Each structure stands twice: as C-alpha cells, then as structure tokens.
Structure 1
C-alpha cells in the first residue's frame, strides 16, 4: 500500500502579557480606503489568499487552557488567573477569505474567541466605487506591520490583475516570537524588582489625570452598543507643511504638538461641562464652587503615545514582520487656559524623550507581566498615535484610483483616541475615535469641534512664541 502523508501538526505558544490583554477584548486594527474605477474581485480574492499563505499567523486562532493542565507554563509568561491564552496554528483549519455582502460594522467588529483573526471585506457602493476594509487582531499586529500588510495586499492585487504567473516569496514562520521576550532577556530579576518599586512609589504620590466622563455608560456598566464614533479632520499639504515647520521651529515634534492639540480639546470639554454644572447652581453655591474649583483652573491630563519597538531591537525587526511590536508611554501635565499646542508639545516631548532615552520604556516592557493590572487601572485622558503619519501611496493597476486611507484601533475602554495617517499628496488625515459603549455622539462631536478649532488656529495663524513653563515630571507607569 502507498505510504500516506501525515497532516501537518498544530503548533502553539503562550501569548505574552500585552498580547493577552488585546486578545481578551478581540481588539482589531483597521485600515480602509475607498476605490474608484473597475475592481477585479477575483484578483482581490487571490491577493487575500496570498497574504494568508505568506503569513501563516493570519490563519491562527486564540485558544485558552486551564493553567493546571499546562504544567510546563513558562513562569516569565505568567498572566495571572486560571486560564492561559495561546496563539495556535493548525494547518487543517480553513484560512480566512475575502468577505463581501456585509456592512462596515461587521467588517470592523472585534474578533470573537477561537475564530479567525484576520478579515478583508469588500463593500460595494456602486459599479465603480468600493470600500476595502482590512482588519487584523491587534494581538497579532501593530500600526507599522498592519500598514505593511495593507501595502502587500495591493501589491499582490496589482500582480494578479496584470500578470498571469505571479510568484510568492517563502512563507514566514507561523508563530513569531513575542517581542516582550526580547526585552526581558536584557534585564535581571533584580532590575525588574527595583523598577517596579520605583514606579509604584511614584504612582502613589502623583495626582491622577482627569478624563472625559463616560456619559453613554449606566450604573450597570458600559452601554451595550458596539463600534465607535468616528470623526475625520484633514490637513492639506500646505497646512501640513506649516504644522510640521511650526513643530520644528519650536524644537519639538509634530506628534508632540498633536498631543498638545488633543489635550487642549479634552480640557475644553471638561471645563465646558464644569460651566454647565455651575450655571445650574444658586449664586451662593456657585461662589462656594468657584473657590473649590476655579473656572480658570489647570486641568491635569495624561496622553498615551504608542511607540514602535522595531527600531529598538537588535537586529531591528522588519516592518512587515507580523507581531505586536509596540508599547505605550505617557506624558502627564497640567493644562492651563493660556497654554498653546506648542507649549504643551514641548512638555510632552520632554517627557517622551526621557522615557525613550533613560531605559524606562525598555524596562517597562520587560516588566509587563507584573504591570498589566496597574496599566489597566491607570486613568489616561486620550491616546494619540502617529505610527501611520508617514503612510503614502499603495500600488494600484492603471484605471483604479484610491482616496486617502485611514486607520484606527478602537480603544477597549473609556479612552478617546486620535490617529494620524499621511496622504499621497503630502497632507494629513486625523481620525478621532470614541467607543460608543462609553461616549455619546455629542461628546464625540464636541471633542472633534474643539480639536478642529485649535488645529485651525495653529495652521492658519502663526503661533506666538512664549517662554515655556517648566515641564512637569514624567508620569509613572509607562507601558
């Protein structure tokens, strides 16, 4: 009898602490753009199949096992709780394919447990107008590798649409090593213990940042609504150049100034709510409130910044290597009524630069298994990501054109987020994201209006230079 070939064996590895946190909520990374012209559906479907063959991790599932059943669990990967989350690659399971005949909410929904972690959806609006939405589980990817994957999708599409004999490179490994493992190897157990003691001492003495109230939530918790409120703002190439030049002349970065804009918009929302409450009080109560909470008070706010870890590794990790290779660091500062985005940008950059150069970020990544509870409980005001700010054009065959792409990852809790993505003409698209489970449409629009107001002032009127206030001390708990 002829010998039979055994089916390929399944492989799995335990998720790291950060991967597990993202997997628990099914958080997706989403990139999308609208296309004009004739679209070859078959070529797009083949391009999606190419991605799953080239990147076997896109066919993985996330599974859970009882901790007692896994006696070989690596102590460094201890995630707490009774279950251990695993990334499992089983070649016998079907790979994801191109999805059609659905809607945007389904295309961008969180990934359920034990289900495919990758989807590409084609939303047809007319015969020559389509929207393509790529979503990949955040536990598998980050902004850098997701953009590279989107670029690869359209590279493969163009090959299929114009060539009859496309070639594929060798596939990547199905289970990439967790990035946290690279950083943990740099530090001793005593290094991590000392770092945790330092962080926790600072955390007990520093006042917590304020954040927007979750007005969509009820006493029973977040509203059951899904999805996010999305608000777009756009800078044309001239405005973007002015924005970038303003940051450079102030000896800070465009990202730090963007953080300053976001913090001013959050302050506007918080103080407007203060005024609304004050206006409903009697004159006597209003006088007491003004003594306790002055209308022109400084508001302590915190801004989270995602950091691409790939350049910090040796050797540097390629942009197209699909793994979660990002961390966040924070800037916490007091925002005054007279502050400008440039003032705040200088302070933000001072704190971010310190975290990136003094080793604090690297130690925080190595200590993530012990820090996850503190990170989850730490209040922040907004997250601002510029990882896509350098995105430009994607390859497309003749006759097919694309509008500027945009991308985001919906925050899993009560935290607004601002994402910036570069456009082919040198402009900048800003996408403000507020989860519907926590925030109302009015809050989303109010924050977008405030951001737009400060942005217009910055790019249309040269800001006045002032001596910056002494930067606040960096906040604790950079992750």
Structure 2
C-alpha cells in the first residue's frame, strides 16, 4: 500500500534534507531494551518503515520489506560516530530513518544518533520521537512497559493509517487569493533582492547563485555527501554555540521586558554577523528566513507525535547597516513575523511552496533561523543520565559552485540551555569562517544578556523606568 507525496513533500526528495538528533549518555544502558523500544516506534509510525518510490510523474511512500526495515545499529565508538552519521545520507529507495548506538570501551559512555528524513518529520516531531524512544526504553527497563508482540508479516498491508500531508490540512482558500499572494510575493522579492554571504573557499565555477532550497538549475552542480564526505575530502561539519542556563534565562528576561521574542534576538544577532561579512560601508538588504510551525496553528491542532513535515516559512527583507542597533533590529524582525502570522501568511506560503523550484528567491534568505523554542530533553531511568542533546539539520545537496549561499542556524533550548547549531559544508564555508561567525553571534547574545542585568540593576536602585515598560506579545517561532 502506498501514499503519494504531495507537491510540498516532493520538494524534499530533491533536497535530501534530514534531521540528525543525538543524545550523549553516561551510565548503564540496556542495548537490547533500547532496540526493542525503537522497534515499537517503527511499528507505530508507517513513515519510519517506508521508503520513497517513483509513482508515475511523482513519488510515493511505500513499505520496505521486513528485512530492510530500520533496526537499532549497535557499534563501538565515541564522538567520531557523530561526524560519520552526520555525513551518512538517507538515500532515495532506502529507509527514511536510521538509529545508531555507539558505546565507548568500558561501556559507561554512549552516543545515540537518530537520523530522520525531512519528508516524514520536522523539528518538533523529531524531538518528540527522540523523547518517546527514551520513554519506551525507561518503561521497559523499569518493568512498567509490556514487551511488544510483533505483528504478523504483511499485517500492515491490510490496513494502514498513513498520516495526511499537512498541505491537505490547511484551511480553505480561494485559488484566486493564493494566486494574488504569489504575485505579491514575487513582486516583493524582485523589488528587494537580498544579498548572500560569499563563500570563503576558492570558487570552482562562476555559476549563478541558487537558493538553499533550490532543486532546479543548480542541481547539476550539486555535491552529494557520503559516509566519509566526498571524494575531495569535503564534508558536513557543525559549529556550536551553547549558552548556560543563566545566560539563557537572562536572554528570555530581556525578551519579556522589551516585548520582543527570543527568536527576534537570535535573528538580529545572525543578521548583524552576516552584515559584517559583506564588507563595505552603508546599509545592505538582507533576508531572514524563519520556518513557521503549523501544528499549533491548524484546526484542530496537529500533535507532534504525527510524523509529517508540518512547517511553512516566512521570509522578510530588512535593511542592516554596520551600526544597526541590535535590539531595534530584533524588534523589527519580531513584529514583521508576528504581523505575518496574524494575517495567515504562513498558510499561503505553504500553498505556494511548489513554486519555489521555479522561483528560488521566494525562500532565499541571507540567514535561515529555525527555532524549536524551549523543549524538555530525554528522561532516563536510574543508573543513566543524559549529558547532552543536539538537533542539527543536514542535507545531501550542496552548491559550492554558486559562490555564496544562506547561513543556516538551528536554534533549540533543551532543558533551559539555548543552543545554536551552525551546519556547513567545507567546500563552501571553512571551519575558521564559521567559528568566527559563531563567536560574533555569541557576543551579541551575551550583550543582550548583559543588558538584562543592567536593566535589573537600574530598576533595583529606582533610577529608571525601563523595567516597567509595557511589553508586546510576540510569537515563538
């Protein structure tokens, strides 16, 4: 039994994008119980035991043979396993998920890496899946969960409840209104073209610039990664910015006091760092692309346990100068995003997403700032503890020949600590370049946190009214 991919899902086939979640654990783990827990989840979610298949002029999800379904892979290893998994693709025609548990010699330190194709997940459902896996594991080792009985071979073919694509769950809309919205978006992107940050690696060929989501003309020049990177040694790497709980709390406090969102603060820091890398004097038009969660905005809301990609996008062009005030920029980004969501633009942006291959500028931002918000990390039974959790987006297609591209930042706060992951392909941006970018973003965020401390001190002495300023509700995106 098959389920055809909708036009939006089909875009992800060409991108080969995926979510890579990792969880570092210290203590005793029962590998057999974790393997069983993973099997129970794949049994419940059809997409986790499916593959992409050709379906006429499009694609569909179809079940894998039982012998090819993803199982927990057990191996010996340490932190290097993360890099290997980050550079190991989920190929078309193969499983859409992979789970690896690496245990260091001595059996006290473990690394779980869970990779899921973007066709069947988004950030919220990926995090929910990871936490559900550990919840199942805890129930099994503590004896509160029954050992599952595998269904008879082929039983799922009799009745499958495939989750519907989100594009079919959108509120009704007149086609003429969607056409007008598309025309307006094309006009706006034409009037306000945004600048992209040039690669700092040698340019191989003067190809035209393509957007991060483009799967059309630039695809012939794409570079596909493999388990060890490409033949020339290039690979996906990640620079990471991690704030402690204190700085994260102060960042949130500033957001409350000033009426901006944390997403706005992070986006402003990214835009300022990008502007610094364009050089020269004077203002530049930069684009901020923000994925927008649709689950909470559908009627009825869609649970994060449903394994589908339920995300739209919001692109805004902003003017950034070398001396742009960060908090003012954060407020501008936040207000623009809030107003767009109030108008329901995220639904229209989902409807016009199939136009992106023909018009990449619809989703081409100088920076891409995802934000999962504040979420709980996994909970493990006694005897084991989680020491780190990460969520990093990756894909298989990169375009070093383009000479420039958006800067990607994945933002999520696990258990009160804000982390920003900067994935990059080494044929495009070098490690030194991305480390410097990360450090610039960190400096701006720490200046925000320091401003909160200064505001609190001023309020305590009664010498200012900043703490009493009214706040404006802003969405968390």
Bin the TM-score by the shorter chain: 0.7 to 0.9
Q: Distance in 1 between matches of 2:187 and 2:278?
A: 29
Q: Deviations over 1:97-120 (max 9, x none)?
A: 011337334423221110000111
Query: Relative to 1, partners in 2 of residues 1:439 and 1:345: Cα closer, same or farther, differing over 3 Å?
Result: same
Distance 1:335 1:376 in 2: 19
Q: For each residue in 1:283-302, what CA deviation from the matched residue of structure 2 results, as whole angstroms up to 9, or x when unmatched? A: xxxxxxxxxxxx33112211
Q: Distance in 2 between matches of 1:210 and 1:369?
A: 23
Residue correspondence of structure 1 range 45-84 to structure 2 within 5 A: 45-67=35-57, 84=58
Is the contact made by 2:186 and 2:362 (CA closer than 8 Å) also made in structure 1?
no
- Is 1:40 the equivalent of 2:24? no
**Per-residue deviation at 1:128?**
0.2
Rate the CA distance shift 1:17–1:212 in 2: closer, same or farther, 3 A. farther
> Residue 86 and residue 253 in structure 1: after superposition, are their counterparts in 2 closer, same or farther (change >3 A)?
same
Distance across 2 between alignment mates of 1:436 and 1:382 = 18
Identify the match of residue 382 of structure 2 among 377, 385, 398. Answer: 398
Using structure 1 for the length normalisation, give the TM-score. Answer: 0.80
Deviations 1:423-465 (A, max 9, x none): 33x2222222222342222221221121122222222345899
Match 2:169 to one of 146, 160, 182: 182
2:196, 2:92 → 1: CA distance? 33
User: Any conservation in 2 of the 1:216–1:439 contact (CA below 8 Å)?
Assistant: no
- Pairing of 1:156-305 with structure 2 (within 5 A): 156-163=136-143, 166=146, 173-183=160-170, 186-213=172-199, 215=201, 217-219=203-205, 221=221, 224=230, 227-271=235-279, 295-305=280-290
Secondary structure class of the residue paired with 1:410: strand
Deviations for 1:329-353, whole angstroms, at most 9, x for unmatched residues? 1222111122233111111012111
After the TM superposition, which of the residue ranges 55-64 and 85-94 deviates more from structure 2? Answer: 85-94
Return the alpha-carbon distance in structure 2 between the equivalents of residues 25 and 204 of structure 1: 24
How many residue pairs get aligned? The number is 414
Q: 1:92 and 1:100 mapped to 2: Cα distance?
A: 19
Gaps of 5+ in 1: 1-10, 68-83, 272-294, 467-479
Q: Which residue of 2 aligns with 1:140?
A: 120
Q: What is residue 406 of structure 2 aligned with on the other side? A: 415
Match of 1:104 among 82, 85, 89: 82
CA RMSD of aligned residues (A): 2.6
Deviates more, 1:225-234 or 1:151-160: 225-234
Deviates more, 1:407-416 or 1:34-43: 407-416
Asked if structure 2 preserves the Cα contact closer than 8 Å seen for 1:47 and 1:153, the reply is yes
Which residue in the other structure is 1:285 paired with? none
> When the two structures are superposed, what TM-score results if normalisation uses the length of structure 2?
0.80
* Cα drift, residue 46 of structure 1: 0.8
1:378 is displaced (CA, Å) by 4.8
Give the Cα separation in 1 of the matches to 2:414 and 2:180.
44
- The 5 A counterparts of 1:432-443 are 432-443=422-433
CA shift digits 1:71-127 (9 cap, x unpaired): xxxxxxxxxxxxx12112356563210113373344232211100001111122232
In 2: Cα distance, 1:122 partner to 1:90 partner: 22
Match of 1:472 in 2: none
